Structure 1
Amino acid sequence: MKTFILRRLLLTLPMLLLASMLIFGIFALTPGDFIDGNITLTAARAAELRALYGLDQPLWSRYLHWLGQLLHGDLGFSLQYQIPVSTLLNQYIWHSFLLASVSMLLYWGIALAVGVASALRPHSLFDHLVTAGVFGAMSFPTFFLCLLLIKWFAVDLHWLPAGGMLRTGSDSRGLAWAGEVALHLILPVTALVMLQAGSLTRYFRASMLEVVRMDFIRTARAKGLRERTVILKHALRNALLPIITLLGFELPGLFSGALITEKIFNWPGAGHIHIDSLAARDYPVLMGFTLFLAVLTLLGNLLADVLYAWADPRIRMR
């Protein structure tokens, strides 16, 4: 297993270098930048700023300079916020992690329970209700669902706050702070769970349906094993193998999957500043955040490969 993990780690290095070249090239070749978007600058001041930030250098020179900064843990300098990109992301990234991790735990748990239960009762009333509910939830556009939740529970019923992470002017500490954050989490988490749980439920249902019809499940039942043991120990473990692939996309999804939701609910996360930086053409922030997502994608794929090797020893043999 150690050799397998080491080999996969070594393979990620050239992929990460290629990702950095691709990310830099896309943003560097995009027409316009933060200085072009500032119409208040004179031509002389714009040229001075370009020289100050190195934007007048050749493309290869700028990439090597950016790569050298990355090797020292420096993601660059935000032109819009006038602070280092790493400092900016550190201020917001943990808020995104809180929102997305709570949502992921909920929709994976719900999808697993509902998908398995639906697969064990195919074509039943419960299965048809689950299918209708899944496609109903998936059919809502993100922005419409978020606004609908705000209207119902914040505007009409006044049960929950409409947005933000804390009340305006709040100075809560300790348990009071945690309770306030949890209250503000309910609506955005509900929106993310409704949007994500549907497709994952279908994955679990289809995978479980395929496994429970296999010969080794019939053999396990013929041996007199309890149904709970057959389902949890034999069927579920094999049904999870195709789902492990999805874990490779969950790590970057923790931070990139809630961009619209964070913006609508005014949640102070990385998605919020990502959209603002996109509007302002603050490319150092966009490059740093995109590279961060690329690293998470590679780590997620590595985690999926390791879990595959743990669950199926035949992969380690190859």
Structure 2
Amino acid sequence: MSTLPRPPSRRRRPWPYPLRRVCQALPLVVVIAITNFFWLRLAPGDLADVIAGEAGAATPEFMAELRRQFGTDQPLALQFVAYLKRLAHLDLGWSFRYNESVLRLISDRLPATALLLVSALVLALLIGCAAGTLAAVSRWRAVDIVVSVLATLGFATPLFWLGLMLMVLFSAHLHWLPSGGMTTLGVDAHGWAYVRDVASHMVMPVFCLAAYYLAIYARLMRASVLEIVGLDFVRTARAKGVSRFRTVVSHVVPNALLPIVTMTALQFGTLFSGSVAIETVFSWPGLGQLALDAVSSRDLNLLLGILFVSSLLVLAVNLIADLAYGWFDPRIEVQR
């Protein structure tokens, strides 16, 4: 008895990789929100205690009324349910300290922090990768020794101390750069004058924040280039008559950048936390300084909003890093 051939089975096409990564990140966002809420509730005191301390004294009735207004007198379970409902409606709550929406406060401060972080990250990547590559191709020469010594110093120097020393040198003694802030107070600049004013205020905080990560990228790039140089495809390119400069630029550097991409994604959260010290030292009006004020005043709604937005930014940077792998190495895109 003959049987008819079975029709070929139709395999379901997988979702695009970015969409799959976003779906995988959604449960992580929920876990982060829950962890932040209960972790901050372990800290002693609340905004009512801070207000009473600033006033010098307060009656129990006044303290109870403050906690009723802030919603902290309710059971922890009810506070948690209210918090999840607000997040479901993209509402980060109300800052009773600033008497303003948390989302509005974060949106006002986020551009300043983003400008500082992106500038420092770009500076660290460009100079660090260039210095690491130059040190690797000049192994055991004067350039390699100088880059290694400077990288070690940058890795070991505390950021807040470096910021204070830069302020003393370039602001107090030389008077070349402003000591703090994002713009000059009392100056209503527009156009290119405003850009130059902001740029002059950015020089020290950006360099100070980038110094540590520049040292890490230089050391990592040096080790990665030295590893790639010894592989077979590099020796084959040199045997075919390709110049040393073109071999390094076209074959070695793109493959050596993969560890840099991984390290950048992993350290973005550390870079964000490092901006707190830099923004405090240089009075930079960003999220770091706002988070420090929220901690000192026990403004839990504001602090929860900052932590949640920061977590989303870190997840977004990790997604961008995963997509960048396919650009540097097409074989990774095929395997996905």
Normalising by structure 1, we get a TM-score of 0.94
Query: What are the Cα deviations for residues 230-289 of structure 1, in whole angstroms up to 9, with x where unaligned?
Result: 212211111111222123246545643311111111111111111111111111111111
Query: Residue 316 of structure 1: CA displacement?
Result: 4.4
**2:113 corresponding residue in structure 1:** 96
Are the structure 2 counterparts of residues 224 and 91 from structure 1 closer, same or farther at C-alpha, using a change threshold of 3 Å? Answer: same
* 1:177-230 residue CA offsets vs partner (Å, 9 max, x unmatched): 111111111111221222321111111111111111112211121122222332
Is the CA contact (8 Å cut-off) linking 1:96 and 1:254 kept in structure 2? no
**Cα displacement string for residues 134-192 of structure 1 (whole angstroms, at most 9, x for unaligned residues):** 11222221121111111111111111111111222111111111111111111112212
- Mapping 1:62-81, distance limit 5 Å: 62-81=79-98
The answer for the alignment partner of 2:38 in structure 1 is 25
SS state at 1:158 partner: coil
Tell me, yes or no, if structure 1 residue 118 matches structure 2 residue 131.
no
Indicate yes or no: 2:159 matched with 1:142.
yes
Identical amino acids, percent of aligned pairs: 35
Post-superposition shift, 1:59? 1.9
1:8, distance to aligned residue in structure 2 (A): 1.2
The one-letter code matched in structure 2 to 1:35 is: A
Matched with 2:124 is 107
Determine which of 212, 226, 229 is the counterpart of 2:243. 226
238-247 or 283-292: bigger deviation:
238-247
- RMSD of aligned Cα (Å): 1.8
For residue 25 of structure 1, what is the amino acid of its counterpart?
Answer: F
Q: Which amino acid aligns with 1:299?
A: A
1:298 aligns with 2:320: no
User: Number of residue pairs matched?
Assistant: 318
Partner of 1:35: 48
Counterpart-to-counterpart distance in 2, 1:114 and 1:207: 13
Structure 1 CA distance for aligned equivalents of residues 118 and 283 of structure 2: 18
Larger radius of gyration: 2
Kept in 2, the 8 Å contact 1:250–1:300? The answer is: no
CA distance in 1, matches of 2:127, 2:275: 19
Q: Structure 1 stretch 33-42 or stretch 131-140: which is displaced more?
A: 33-42
Q: Is this contact kept in 1: 2:70–2:96, CA < 8 A?
A: no
Is the deviation greater in 13-22 or in 228-237?
228-237
TM-score scaled to structure 2, two decimals?
0.89
- Equivalence map 1:52-67=2 (5 Å): 52-67=69-84
- Contact 1:75 1:86 survives alignment (8 Å): yes
> What is the alpha-carbon distance in structure 2 between the residues aligned to residue 303 and residue 229 of structure 1?
28
Residue equivalent to 2:3: none
How far does the alpha carbon of each residue in 1:276-310 deviate from its partner, in whole angstroms, 9 at most, with x for none?
A: 11111111111111111111121122122222244
1:7: how far off? 1.6
Distance 1:255 1:89 in 2: 14
Tell me whether 1:273 sits opposite 2:290 in the alignment: yes
Contact 2:225/2:256 (<8 A) preserved:
yes
| AA of the residue aligned to 2:29 | L
> For 1:93 and 1:255, how far apart are their aligned partners in 2?
11
Which consecutive unaligned segments of at least 5 residues does structure 2 have? 1-13
Paired AA for residue 217 in structure 2: L
Residue aligning to 1:257: 274
Alignment partners' CA distance in 2, 1:170 and 1:45: 43
- 2:20 matched to 1:3? no
Letter in 2 for 1:317: Q
* Residue pair 1:50, 1:56 contacting (<8 A) in 2 also: yes
C-alpha separation in 1, matches of 2:194 and 2:271: 23
Counterpart in the other structure of 1:167: 184
Cα distance in structure 1, aligned partners of 2:144 and 2:47:
52
Residue identity opposite 1:195 in structure 2: Y
C-alpha distance in structure 1 between counterparts of 2:18 and 2:284, whole Å: 37
**Aligned residue among 28, 32, 56 for 1:15:** 28
